[in-house]
Structure 1
Amino acid sequence: MSSFRMRLTFILIGMIGLSVLAAGLFMGKTYKDNHMDALQDNLVREMSVILDQMQWPTAEAVIPYDYFTQKAEKLKKITESRVTFIRGDGVVLGDSDHDPKTMDNHLNREEIQIAKKDGFGRSIRHSDTTNENLLYVAKLVDPKNPQSDIIRLALSLKTVDKSIQRIWSTLIVGLLILFVVAAVISYRVALGLTRPLEQITKVSKRIKNLDYKARVAVKRNDEIGELGYSINAMADSLQIQMARIHQNENQLASVLDNMINGIVMIDRTGRIVLINRCAEELLGLSASDLVGRNYAEAKQQYELSQIIQDGLERREHLREEITFYFPEERLLDLNLVPIFEDSDEFGGVLLVLQDVTAIRRLERMRSEFVANVSHELKTPVTAVKGFAETLLGGAVNDPETARSFLQIIFDESDRLNRLIGDILELSKVESRRIPLQFSPIELSSFIAKTIELMGSEAVRKNIRISVKVEPGIYVEADEDRLRQIIMNLLANGISYTPDGGHVSIQAEPVINEAAGRDETDYDHIRIHISDTGIGIPKKDLPRIFERFYRVDKARSRSSGGTGLGLSIVKHLVELHKGSISVSSNLGAGSTFTIELPVLQ
């Protein structure tokens, strides 16, 4: 039982108990007074009858004690009461229980005084003679004469007391029964009042603890029922509002976590209040280590802390690019935006981090590409212009010199034409403007035909080309572009392999043994093109597929290469949804590996 229900039960029991007790006391007193009045009236009537039937001697010189005593004793037998005759001056004339001669003067007795004033009087007192409580009723013999003689009847209250005790016993038992009944009724009333209130309290506590599904089981139509309906309506509203808030929070968290830019929110005191996943990756720190702490506690380089401090002090937009070296080297573009709340009160700053490393690298590559193109175009143009000026200056008259210069002009023009063609080809490949016509290709015959086209150059350098391709291996690809890929790689191998060297090409299916497939069930094919050439240094391997990048620039230019072949190959392989990689040992040769899906 709850403390409130106990208090309410005790209050109800107390109120009912006090009411019943007061009613019992009032009933007991009323009964006693009415009983005493009835006894008094009865004794008065008996005294009136006695006086009417009795001759009262008067004016005698000697007090007739014997007469009055005999009358008193006789009357006692009839009335069952103590009878006393008293003279007007208080002298006892006769008594049914005692010798009147030995009795005290009764003039000052209470009932005598009241009788002299009102005609009859009553008093209740303890009798030392009989050692019990007695009801005394006195009456004037002549009501019109205050000095008249007096007759008095005394009745023992033992019977009355027993009746009163019986009444009090009955009242006490009744009170106890009423208390029990009142307790049961009070508990039921308190239970009916407190149970819905306790349920409402429990539901309110659950709502306070963010359990917005809690509801009050309303079964009443009174004020408590209205309160339950109000609690349920409030819970419905809170549940809808919190669902919207959670939805907005989830959407905001999803946006923040999936942004490609890092976001860090810092309040006016410098405490970090929000950081998204991208910012964690860029800064190399976790949100649990930063949120709730001052930005100065983050173990970052001085420039970042300085720009945050400047933003908090100046409260204006700041932008700066900083190179970070942890967790890896990056160039970050920092934008610090001040945050102002609705009352235009400064709330802090928002730090936006953007990794511009790739953008700057692309800008650098674009600049290098323009410089390389300018350089590559300038070299043959300068040669053509120089030899043409020499011929115009008179060398044309010398047939041998003229023929030699014209041959150089032709070769440089041809090289310039190849360079422009490769640049246009690379531009189309990079912009994916080349439509690919996919068809099934049987690799054994396809590679044999491709090698025939490269045979004259291999024979010229006495380079042996070996082929290892099992018949029946098919791949879906654009035949012209796949031949362009193979020929470029073979041309590179022949070009960078010394005379008398060896170039090999091998094609094989990629079988997924873990999936339980056999040799006829494969998803990819792999082509290896190896040579025994000069090899590629390890430092150059990551950049081997960049435009105009040459390992041996002098040798490449003398061999007639443009430096765009491998870049074109890489893009064509990617258009086929494949991948290309290279491994090399300096002085021992290189191996290019192409992996293509069987089906497009």
Structure 2
Amino acid sequence: MRYRTRLTVVFLLLIGISVLTAGLFSAQLLRNSYMSSLETNMDREIRVLLATSDWSRTGSEKDTEAYYTSMIRELRESAGSRVTYIRADGKVLGDSDHDIQGMGNHLDREEVKESGVGKTGYAVRHSETLNQNMMYAAEAVADSSGKVVGYIRLAMSLSDVEDSLRRFWLFLLAGLAALVLIAGVISYRIARSMTRPLEKITRVAQQITNLDYRSRVEIHSKDEIGQLGLAINTMAESLQTQLGRIVENESRLQSVMDSMQSGIIMIDREERIMLLNRKAEEFLGFTAEELLNHAYTAANQQYEFSQLIQTCLATGETLRDEMVFYFPEERIMEVSSTPVMDGQGGMAAALVVLHDMTAVRRLEKMRSEFVANVSHELKTPIAAVKGFAETLLNGALDDEEAAHAFVKIIYDESERLNRLIGDILALSKIESRRVPLDFSPIDLNEFLKASLRMVQTEADKKHIRLDLLPAAPLYLEADEDRLRQILLNLLSNSISYTPEGGEIHVRAEHVPGATDDQDDRVRISVTDTGIGIPKKDLPRIFERFYRVDKARSRSSGGTGLGLSIVKHLVELHRGTIRVESTVGVGSSFIIELPVIHQ
């Protein structure tokens, strides 16, 4: 039952009980008033009867009965009530309403017992003779000597009193019904006015429970209910502010975690994954939905990884190790497991951090290989210079022709050594991005023509035809010197690896952006009819000191760093380079550069 209904029922019960209680008291007071008034009247009438009639008649019983019966019936008209005369022994000598022959001894009647000379006795009971409630009043009759010779009794019906009380109760109940109806409407409106604010407050509280902290209570008064509504609104504002801060902090934390290059995994004491970021998903090969609230063994990693986490959870120590992950792809990972303490100083979870060391280790390997390659490349010309210098010192200077040849070799090797060191220094600067680029507009067709003229002499020595394919006017922003370095390097390589009588084709074309967000680009391709590059060597062609034909490269004076320099310079221009090649057919180096540098 709703509180509003219960409150209305309580109001009605209070009103009903109050009215009924007042009615009971009023009815009892009215009845007592009627009875008291009736007793007073009957007492007065008895005394009048005693004073105005002769009650000392004696004689035969039959004559006495006839006398008293006749007199009492005459007195009934004046008394207005039933009159009975009872002899001192209890025998009825006369009655105004009934034949005395059928009436028993009345000495045991209550009113008779309580009566006396000058004292009236009263009694109320149901009359079997008249079949109604009656009030009886009796007083003793004494002779001249004071001896009681009989009793005069008056009897009056209580039907008038009962009718009055019945009418009173009927009026009372009708009034009560009307009052309950009116009071019900008024009570309901009062209860509604009292409960509607509470219902609104309850509804707002439920909405707040459902995390709708924007809900507010409309306050129309400053009473206790208004104060409660104000408290609810204040609480909602506080919760909304705190939730906003929590969401903002959580969003910041999630953004930080998602932008981290390290994988983060939090594992609780029950060995379940509580938290992981996107990088951890990438490293483990599973999504957060597949791993959250599951055991960390669901990641299906090697035994060493699981053992490190289990040891951290068991001992509470910070552990660090480097291991190889083979799923979803092979990676060298540095795994760090750190205990996370709770407020009581106990261990709550283990925080596992995954660092991808693959690139670092690859760079270390490349650095090591670079040092070894540099050492190897430097060793050859230095050994040649040293050997021929020793030969000259040991007497070859006397042979003019041999000395000239040896000095020429020393000069060539020193030139090669100079080029190698120059390329190493240039590559170092380019890789460290310490090479400043001066971007300016370039007419690409004129630029390509000028570049081909610079290598024309070298190409003519091998009877190689240089061909610039016609193209529409093209312009782009680039560093002209570095772009020429790129193109000359590619043209020189093509000339070196193209047999005599071959061809080299250079083309430039416009490439529109595939989407609105993608800028237009310029594609430059250098295609030759040379010896080609084996398919297995294509992925490594741009590595430092990598040679497809090592003997031929050295004999041509190459340092093995040209294509690596080209690749880095193209990337500095925010472009891309790739190679397509077929052994025995030729190779094509394709460069794509943005039209406008950003």
TM-score by length of 2: 0.94
**Aligned residue runs from structure 1 range 255-294, under 5 A:** 255-294=256-295
Cα separation, partners in 2 of 1:190 and 1:512, compared to 1, 3 Å: closer
- Contact 1:272/1:291 (<8 A) preserved: yes
Corresponding letter in the other structure for 2:95: D
1:519 aligns with none
Q: Cα distance, 1:202 vs. partner?
A: 2.2
> What do you get for the CA RMSD once the two structures are aligned?
2.3
- Contact 2:442/2:480 (<8 A) preserved: yes
1:518 aligns with none
Q: Cα distance, 1:99 vs. partner?
A: 4.2
Q: Cα distance, 1:389 vs. partner?
A: 0.5
Q: Cα distance, 1:474 vs. partner?
A: 2.6
- Contact 2:56/2:149 (<8 A) preserved: no
> Which digits, 9 at most, give the CA deviation of each residue in 1:214-258, with x for residues without a partner?
222233333333222222222222221111111111111111111
Between the aligned partners of 1:470 and 1:230, the Cα distance in structure 2 is 78
- Contact 2:269/2:348 (<8 A) preserved: yes
- Contact 1:443/1:469 (<8 A) preserved: no
Q: Cα distance, 1:141 vs. partner?
A: 3.8
1:420 aligns with 421
2:243 aligns with 242
Corresponding letter in the other structure for 1:563: G
- Contact 1:536/1:586 (<8 A) preserved: yes
- Contact 1:267/1:347 (<8 A) preserved: yes
> Which digits, 9 at most, give the CA deviation of each residue in 1:531-589, with x for residues without a partner?
11111112221221111111111111111000111111122222222221111112211
- Contact 2:513/2:521 (<8 A) preserved: no
**Aligned residue runs from structure 1 range 272-351, under 5 A:** 272-351=273-352
Corresponding letter in the other structure for 1:427: S
Q: Cα distance, 1:345 vs. partner?
A: 0.1
1:91 aligns with 91
1:11 aligns with 10
1:52 aligns with 51
- Contact 2:57/2:64 (<8 A) preserved: no
Q: Cα distance, 1:58 vs. partner?
A: 5.6
Corresponding letter in the other structure for 2:17: L
Between the aligned partners of 2:6 and 2:171, the Cα distance in structure 1 is 29
Q: Does 1:125 align with 2:125?
A: yes
Between the aligned partners of 1:470 and 1:17, the Cα distance in structure 2 is 108
1:530 aligns with 527
Corresponding letter in the other structure for 2:300: K
Q: Does 1:562 align with 2:559?
A: yes
1:486 aligns with 487
- Contact 1:439/1:477 (<8 A) preserved: yes
Between the aligned partners of 2:129 and 2:440, the Cα distance in structure 1 is 145
2:106 aligns with 106
Corresponding letter in the other structure for 2:217: V
Q: Cα distance, 1:276 vs. partner?
A: 0.7
Corresponding letter in the other structure for 1:103: M
Q: Cα distance, 1:102 vs. partner?
A: 5.2
- Contact 1:443/1:471 (<8 A) preserved: no
Once structures 1 and 2 are overlaid, which stretch shifts more, 267-276 or 127-136? 127-136
2:156 aligns with 155
Unmatched 5+ stretches in structure 1? 516-521
- Contact 2:115/2:138 (<8 A) preserved: yes
Q: Does 1:194 align with 2:191?
A: no
Q: Does 1:595 align with 2:592?
A: yes
Q: Cα distance, 1:118 vs. partner?
A: 7.7
* SS at structure 2 position matched to 1:149: strand
Once structures 1 and 2 are overlaid, which stretch shifts more, 419-428 or 165-174? 165-174
**Aligned residue runs from structure 1 range 380-395, under 5 A:** 380-395=381-396
TM-score by length of 1: 0.93
> Which digits, 9 at most, give the CA deviation of each residue in 1:288-332, with x for residues without a partner?
111101112332222221221222223211111111222222111
Between the aligned partners of 1:514 and 1:242, the Cα distance in structure 2 is 41
Q: How many residues align?
A: 593
Once structures 1 and 2 are overlaid, which stretch shifts more, 264-273 or 145-154? 145-154
Between the aligned partners of 1:175 and 1:436, the Cα distance in structure 2 is 104
Cα separation, partners in 2 of 1:422 and 1:196, compared to 1, 3 Å: same
Corresponding letter in the other structure for 1:115: S
Between the aligned partners of 2:351 and 2:164, the Cα distance in structure 1 is 96
Once structures 1 and 2 are overlaid, which stretch shifts more, 307-316 or 329-338? 307-316
Once structures 1 and 2 are overlaid, which stretch shifts more, 479-488 or 191-200? 191-200
Between the aligned partners of 1:592 and 1:393, the Cα distance in structure 2 is 49
Once structures 1 and 2 are overlaid, which stretch shifts more, 400-409 or 16-25? 16-25
**Aligned residue runs from structure 1 range 184-223, under 5 A:** 184-223=185-224
2:477 aligns with 476
Cα separation, partners in 2 of 1:133 and 1:307, compared to 1, 3 Å: same
- Contact 1:268/1:312 (<8 A) preserved: yes
Cα separation, partners in 2 of 1:539 and 1:73, compared to 1, 3 Å: same
Corresponding letter in the other structure for 2:76: K
> Which digits, 9 at most, give the CA deviation of each residue in 1:420-456, with x for residues without a partner?
1111221222222233333333233322222222122
Between the aligned partners of 1:525 and 1:388, the Cα distance in structure 2 is 51
Cα separation, partners in 2 of 1:275 and 1:512, compared to 1, 3 Å: closer
Between the aligned partners of 2:258 and 2:584, the Cα distance in structure 1 is 49
Q: Cα distance, 1:471 vs. partner?
A: 6.1
Q: Cα distance, 1:358 vs. partner?
A: 1.0
Between the aligned partners of 2:109 and 2:255, the Cα distance in structure 1 is 107
Cα separation, partners in 2 of 1:139 and 1:420, compared to 1, 3 Å: same
Cα separation, partners in 2 of 1:258 and 1:12, compared to 1, 3 Å: same
2:19 aligns with 20
* SS at structure 1 position matched to 2:500: coil
